[in-house]
Amino acid sequence: MGLYAGIDVGSGYTKAIVIDEAPTVVGRGLTHSGADFAAAADRARDEALAEAGAEADPIAACVSTGYGRSNVSFATAHRTEIDCHARGAYHGFPRAITVVDIGGQDNKVICVDDAGKRVNFTMNRKCAAGTGSFLEEIAYQLKIPLKDFSGLAEQSTDPDISIGSYCTVFAKTEILARIRDGVHVADLARAAIESVAKRILESQVITGTVVLTGGVVAHVPYLRRTLAEILDADVQVPPDPQHTGALGAALVARQQATGK
């Protein structure tokens, strides 16, 4: 059976997915992108192939996507993140959906119709607000590992605490003032996540079923709850949200190779 690979080279992490003809995911890879995107792509591919119990030779086609997609030397084609995240999300939720992808450097809102066709999309401005970088900066300032951010936010007892500044620099200054005033760290963590959610919702009116993808959702699941409450809508998360773009790329590779 043929194998098809998708490589998503993001600014923070590089993800790889290997699927078979079915298509079923048979291997995953994840590594820091670092300063050498080509090497990161190699590592992620090798990790996915090892999990699949295969070598590089059986890969019939490979599509790369993400910020560093042009650095993947073994890719047979390149596709945009918009296309790949839409395909990956629709594969898990085959109906009309709004895909919200939250990455390290940007966020994307992609509208997909019930046939899987992209009908509209928006991206955030050139600013860290509403992205993983924003939360990483706030977590660093609060001396909290990002992996603990969701659990801490769930302990918040004051829903009226908010962060009014969207700019990361101004938000850090605002948080310092809140700390001085004795605001609990859990309330600040919740407020930071809520700030990201509100920033995302600025870009486009979101209706219907929402599917969240990206590494931020994987590491900060409280964001799903926050968006669901603000939107009063059905918000879904794929089993492996960080690999959604890589899955979409692998599906494109399979389609290009087999016509299916």
Confidence of residue 136 (pLDDT cuts 50, 70, 90): confident
Tell me, yes or no, if the two domains 1-93+239-260 and 95-237 fold the same way: yes
Of 205, 204, 178, the C-alpha closest to 191 is 178
Residue 65 in this model has a pLDDT that exceeds 90: yes
How far, CA to CA in Å, does 110 sit from each of 47, 67, 85, 180, 242? 29, 17, 8, 40, 16
The percent of residues above 90 in pLDDT, for the chain, comes to 68
Give the homologous superfamily in CATH for domain 95-237. Answer: ATPase, nucleotide binding domain (3.30.420.40)
Buried b (16+ CB within 10 A) or exposed e, 224-257: bebbbeebeeebbbbebbbbbbbbbbbbbbbeeb
Cα gap 86→109, rounded to integer Å: 10
* CA 164, chain centre distance (Å): 24
pLDDT, tens digit (0-9, with 9 covering 90-100), for 217-255: 988 999 999 999 988 888 999 999 999 999 999 999 999
How far is Cα 132 from Cα 62, in angstroms, rounded to an integer?
A: 27
- The fold for domain 1-93+239-260 equals Nucleotidyltransferase; domain 5 (3.30.420)
Say how far residue 71 (Cα) sits from the centre of its chain.
20
Confidence of residue 166 (pLDDT cuts 50, 70, 90): low
Q: Where are the domains of the chain?
A: 1-93+239-260, 95-237
- Residue 90 pLDDT > 80: yes
Give 72's pLDDT tier (boundaries 50, 70, 90): very high
Average pLDDT of the chain, as a whole number = 91
pTM: 0.91
Q: Which of 43, 49, 41, 50 is nearest to 74 (CA)?
A: 41
| Residue 129 pLDDT class (50, 70, 90 cuts) | low
Query: Exposed (0-12), middle (13-18) or buried (19+): which is 24, by Cβ within 10 Å?
Result: exposed
Start-to-end C-alpha separation, the chain:
15
